[in-house]
Amino acid sequence: MKDRLLWLRTLALLLGWLLLFGATLWAIGAIYFDLPIGWLRTPLALVYGAAILALLILVKRRGLALGAGALAFLLVLIWWLS
């Protein structure tokens, strides 16, 4: 039973990371292409990508890192939809 739960948890985390990867790519593109201030597009897109990468490297609890990355994506999505 423990092996099955471990396998399911690993699968769920892998799926979450894949979704976060796609969401991060979309958010970087949204910042780069839709930011109204032209000279800030590239720096902010790079900062966003670097912040997500640092989050994934520095936060030891993987679930917390995944949640924080999802929150960052949601903030970009809310901005983009407004």
27-68 pLDDT, tens digit per residue, is 999 999 999 999 999 999 999 999 999 998 999 998 899 999
Place of tokens 């994934």: 56
Residue 69 in this model has a pLDDT that exceeds 80: yes
- Number of separate domains in the chain: 1
| Cβ(76)–Cβ(27) below 8 Å | yes
Which residue segment(s) compose the domain that 10 sits in?
A: 2-81
The reported pLDDT for the residue numbered 2 is 80
Indicate whether this model's pTM tops 0.85: yes
| Cβ(56)–Cβ(65) below 8 Å | yes
Could you tell me which residues come within 8 angstroms of residue 39 by beta carbon, excluding any fewer than 6 positions away? none
The reported pLDDT for the residue numbered 63 is 87
* Average pLDDT estimate for 5-34: 94
The reported pLDDT for the residue numbered 70 is 96
